[in-house]
């Protein structure tokens, strides 16, 4: 049973990792938490649901379209809710604006798509079992897609020019601007890449649980944020690592402690980490200078 829980945890953890990356990358560049990130994910998943049920689109084309839609939505969120804010107490203003954007998207989805839960069946489910160990083709697919996406992201961030510019922005936006980097474009791009990953993750989780609903982003986002904090917010390997750990803890906790409090484990881990080591497991220690 232990290995079964572990496997389930790792599979869900991979999805959390993909969502957590969006939080972590945006935080790395702008030092703000993009509260609307998970709601962008939810919106994109609904679009995917519509594409499959009404247009009967093939799965891969659908995933690609949804991810592109998500990145456009993510970039527009940045344009509308974050960039125009130039007030004195900017941190508080951005926080409130981000919350507002999240509330807006969530309730807009409720108005458009209805507040009920919808089934999402894109792929026929088959299960294989070896010696007391069950894995479905869906789970294998999720593992493969997650690994491929993480690999692509790794190449993008560490092996391309855009990646260098992104990392430069995360060290210091002002200095990056002095080096001739179009920082606005890079910030937009960071939101876009994060939302692209979130779009794919949304489809995966929607198909995995076969449930899409307007508030799905809320809990998923919180768990992914917990993962980002656990790994050290702003750090890309940290976010991936944190995602897998949160997924595993949640799965083991639900299996061995209490399944009713399944959603609470991520919060407990997050609170513990924030109290004991606020910079996370892999994050750089940040010292405020006076």
- Positions 108 through 127 that interact with another protein (CB under 8 A): 108, 110-111
| 179: contact with another protein by CB under 8 A | no
Q: Measuring CA to CA, which residue among 51, 16, 29 is closest to residue 219?
A: 16
Give the nearer residue to another protein in terms of CB position, either 159 or 289.
289
| 255: contact with another protein by CB under 8 A | no
Q: How far is the CB of 284 from another protein (least distance, A)?
A: 16
Q: Which stretch binds another protein (CB under 8 A): 1-9, 120-128, 151-159, 258-266?
A: 258-266
Give the nearer residue to another protein in terms of CB position, either 118 or 262.
262
Q: Measuring CA to CA, which residue among 255, 194, 249 is closest to residue 10?
A: 249
| 281: contact with another protein by CB under 8 A | no
- Positions 33 through 92 that interact with another protein (CB under 8 A): 33, 80-81, 84-85, 87-89, 91-92
| 260: contact with another protein by CB under 8 A | yes
For residue 243 the two structure tokens come to 């995602």
Q: How far is the CB of 15 from another protein (least distance, A)?
A: 19
**Contact residue for another protein among 145, 229, 236, 282 (CB under 8 A):** 229
Residue carrying structure tokens 């990356």: 21
Count the neighbouring beta carbons within 10 Å of the beta carbon of residue 221. Answer: 26
| 93: contact with another protein by CB under 8 A | yes
Conformation bin of residue 22: beta by default, left when phi > 0, alpha when psi is -120 to 50? alpha
**Contact residue for another protein among 61, 100, 158, 182 (CB under 8 A):** 100
Q: How far is the CB of 116 from another protein (least distance, A)?
A: 15
Residue carrying structure tokens 């791009």: 189
| 155: contact with another protein by CB under 8 A | no
Q: Which stretch binds another protein (CB under 8 A): 48-56, 98-106, 173-181, 245-253?
A: 98-106
Size of the site for another protein (CB under 8 A): 45
Q: Which residues bind another protein (CB under 8 A)?
A: 32-33, 80-81, 84-85, 87-89, 91-97, 99-108, 110-111, 218-219, 222, 225, 229, 260-261, 263-264, 267-268, 270-271, 274-275, 278, 290
């Amino acid at each position: 049973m232990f290995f079964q829980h572990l496997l389930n945890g790792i599979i869900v953890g991979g999805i959390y990792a993909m969502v957590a990356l969006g939080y972590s990358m945006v935080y790395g560049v702008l030092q703000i938490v993009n509260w609307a990130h998970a709601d962008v994910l939810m919106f994109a998943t609904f679009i995917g649901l519509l594409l499959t049920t009404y247009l009967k689109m093939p799965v891969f084309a659908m995933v690609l379209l949804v991810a592109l839609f998500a990145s456009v939505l993510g970039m527009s969120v940045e344009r509308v809710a974050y960039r125009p804010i130039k007030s004195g107490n900017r941190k508080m203003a951005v926080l409130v604006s981000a919350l507002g954007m999240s509330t807006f998207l969530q309730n807009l989805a409720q108005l458009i798509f209805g507040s009920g839960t919808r089934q999402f069946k894109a792929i026929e489910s088959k299960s294989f079992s070896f010696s007391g160990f069950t894995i479905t083709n869906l789970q294998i697919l999720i593992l493969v897609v997650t690994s491929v996406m993480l690999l692509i992201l790794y190449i993008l961030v560490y092996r391309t020019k855009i990646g260098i510019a992104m990392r430069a922005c995360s060290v210091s936006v002002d200095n990056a601007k002095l080096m001739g980097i179009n920082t606005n474009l890079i910030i937009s791009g960071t939101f876009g890449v994060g939302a692209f990953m979130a779009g794919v993750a949304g489809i995966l989780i929607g198909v995995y649980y076969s449930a899409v609903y307007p508030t799905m982003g809320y809990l998923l986002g919180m768990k992914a944020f917990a993962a980002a904090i656990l790994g050290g917010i702003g750090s890309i390997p940290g976010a991936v690592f944190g995602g897998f750990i949160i997924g595993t803890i949640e799965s083991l906790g639900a299996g061995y402690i209490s399944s009713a409090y399944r959603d609470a484990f991520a919060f407990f881990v997050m609170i513990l980490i924030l109290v004991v080591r606020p910079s996370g497991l892999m994050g750089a220690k940040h010292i405020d200078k006076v």
